[in-house]
A and B are shown apart, each in its own frame.
Chain A
């Protein structure tokens, strides 16, 4: 037996949905400022150490970054379908879409794992055996590790949330009425947007 969808203090399901959507957007606003602070610091260091910073950026593997961007964009496509289908009461389509979304999220992490293995083998971790010269390159690679790891953590949380939706795919009423499919979708798409900005900053910088 599924728990009732409508919770206190809301009088009706529409207002509850509106409140949940509003709250998720507010959370996303705090996330924009969190990631935005890191991106601003990136901009400052890139200005101060331009040549070394871009020499460091040239060492990222563009193929991994581009493939993973395509994987995340496609996962967002399925997430959008899943949330819409849930609302429309198309439980089977919603369930399959959630599974595709989570699966593509896992694929992203697998590709990222191979990329990390290469990066470590090429001594691109800023430690005493770091392969490149100069503070700027080291600062770039610190940004690379910190931002991609924080992004991966966000994605891992997202995969868990989408799989939770998948476990409820048999309850058409829950899928239709709960705010969870839409709100989980908002979070998932936001994590995609973070990657969309990370991609040019980490992979496209200094290619000319």
Chain B
């Protein structure tokens, strides 16, 4: 590999490398926080961290940062309908006495 190629590789790998470092940090944080008693807060914290990890993967690894409007719309639509599913199911199960 020539010096120029190595420099190109470094440039190309910089974004994914920072994303990977952040993901590993979040993994350590979520495991540690699982042992801290927060009551119902534990599941909330662990799902928030999971969502943050998914967002890093979507924006950096899956290239949503630079994607066209059409692709962004397709990427978001599944999550929107998943929200409706969970929200409507919760109106029953989370409000029972």
Residue numbers of A with Cβ under 8 A of B are 18, 21-22, 25-26, 28-33, 36-37, 39-40, 43-44, 47-48, 62, 66, 69-70, 73-74, 76-77, 79-81, 84-85, 88, 90, 92-93, 182, 185-186, 189-190, 192-193, 196-197, 199-200, 204-205, 207-208
Q: With A and B bound together, what is the CA distance between A70 and B89 in angstroms? A: 32
Say which size band chain B's interface belongs to: 35 or more
Q: A85-B9, A193-B53 are in contact. List 13 more A-B contacts (CB 8 A).
A: A22-B70, A26-B74, A29-B78, A33-B82, A36-B82, A43-B90, A73-B27, A81-B13, A81-B16, A196-B53, A200-B49, A208-B34, A208-B35
State how many angstroms separate the Cβ of B15 from the closest Cβ of chain A: 8
- A69 touching B27 in the complex, CB below 8 Å, given contacts A43-B93, A93-B9: yes
- A84 touching B20 in the complex, CB below 8 Å, given contacts A32-B78, A43-B86, A193-B58: no
Q: With A and B bound together, what is the CA distance between A74 and B70 in angstroms? A: 29
B16 close to A84 (CB less than 8 A): yes
Q: With A and B bound together, what is the CA distance between A43 and B83 in angstroms? A: 13
A62 close to B24 (CB less than 8 A): no
A48 close to B9 (CB less than 8 A): no
- A208 touching B27 in the complex, CB below 8 Å, given contacts A21-B71, A33-B85: no
